[in-house]
Amino acid sequence: MRDFVLERPQSIPEALDILKKAGGRAMVKSGGTDLIVWLHRSLVNPDCVIDLTKIEQLKGIGLSNGRIEIKALATLNEVASNPAVGEKLPALFQACMAHSDPLIRNRATVVGNVCSAVPSGDVIAPLLCYGAMVEITGPSGDRTLRIGDFITGPKKTALAADEIVTAIKIALPEGKSAGCYIKISRREALDIAQAAVCCTAFESVTREFRISFCAVSPRPVRATEAERLLNGATKMDDGIVEAAAKLAIEAVDPITDVRASREYRLAMIEELTRRAIKSCVEKLEAGGPS
């Protein structure tokens, strides 16, 4: 590991000032559960690490006007134990609980998971299904991006070198809804996904299904053809679910790596999509949100 300067700013303007002065040679740290590993392995070599954990404005979870604001330092455990997440965003709750183990979840942040932008990031798929927006601040002011536009490739985001993410905002679903995140990995804890599927369903005048994935595509994708089939169905029977599960495979492009082969991942996506859709339909029919 190369030497670096550690900065601990107390405010967002101070953090942005340090970032600007570092001219692209600094990285910010939230929980550090990815960054410290990368530093140890010399996968990244910044001159300066900016630890955000002293910045009060970046802490906590807010709720107003039907929107939840997950601030940059909110940990996986804080998010999972928030009542609004448990009640209205069950797929995000399940993804948080599928992440690592209780110790890591006390340190790792939801925003850090998104900024790492690794294809196996657990919270990314539910955030995509729930239409999450990424709040960014930098020297030229604030901007907001959809999560699907924020992550541009494996470990790549649309964030400029002098910007930080301050929060993720999600409009809480109104009315009946259901959500489900199913992950498979080689063991139950402390392992990243071989594959995972997220399905959400929202019911107002019509039903709207959304399906996304983890660890099977270079950047976040939704199974739009499968969603179209489900959304247009007048009756939800096994044939429709089967057809949607097959269409889901066409949306992904998994690789073979140490965790699983491409073929295994494709087979799992079909099976997990089938289970996730059925789970959402059952929950809706039982009277969601759940």
Window 206 to 265, contacts with ligand FAD (CB under 6 A): none
> Tokens standing for 253?
């492009």
Q: 121: Cβ–Cβ under 8 A, 6 or more apart, which residues?
A: 113, 114, 214
Nearest approach, Cβ of residue 251 and ligand FAD (Å)? 20
Choose the binding region for ligand FAD from 86-94, 158-166, 239-247, 271-279 (rule: CB under 6 A).
158-166
Nearest approach, Cβ of residue 161 and ligand FAD (Å)? 10
In the bound state with ligand FAD, the residue whose beta carbon lies nearer, of 107 and 246, is 107
Q: Is 133 in the site for ligand FAD (CB under 6 A)?
A: no
User: Cβ(164)–Cβ(137) under 8 Å?
Assistant: yes
Q: Is 164 in the site for ligand FAD (CB under 6 A)?
A: yes
In the bound state with ligand FAD, the residue whose beta carbon lies nearer, of 135 and 227, is 135
User: Cβ(142)–Cβ(105) under 8 Å?
Assistant: no
DSSP letter string, 177-227: EEEEEEEE-SSSSS---SEEEEEEEEESSSEEEEEEEESSSSS--B-HHHH
Question: Is residue 262 packed enough to be buried (19+ CB in 10 Å), middle (13-18) or exposed (0-12)?
Answer: middle
Q: How many residues contact ligand FAD, by CB under 6 A?
A: 30
Q: Are strands 48-51 and 26-29 parallel, antiparallel or unpaired?
A: parallel
Q: Which of 18, 19, 22, 29 binds ligand FAD (CB under 6 A)?
A: 29
The residue sitting closest to ligand FAD, measured at its beta carbon, is 112
Count how many residues are written for the chain: 290
Window 88 to 107, contacts with ligand FAD (CB under 6 A): 99-100, 104
Window 50 to 69, contacts with ligand FAD (CB under 6 A): 52
Nearest approach, Cβ of residue 51 and ligand FAD (Å)? 9
HEC-encoded secondary structure of 59-75: CCEEEECCEEEEECCCE
The maximal CA–CA distance of the chain, rounded, in angstroms, is 62
Q: Which of 9, 90, 121, 173 binds ligand FAD (CB under 6 A)?
A: 121
In the bound state with ligand FAD, the residue whose beta carbon lies nearer, of 127 and 241, is 127
In the bound state with ligand FAD, the residue whose beta carbon lies nearer, of 51 and 225, is 51
HEC-encoded secondary structure of 160-171: CCCCEEEEEEEE
Q: Which residues contribute to the site for ligand FAD (CB under 6 A)?
A: 27-35, 37, 52, 72, 99-100, 104, 108-109, 111-113, 115-116, 120-122, 159, 164-165, 190, 192
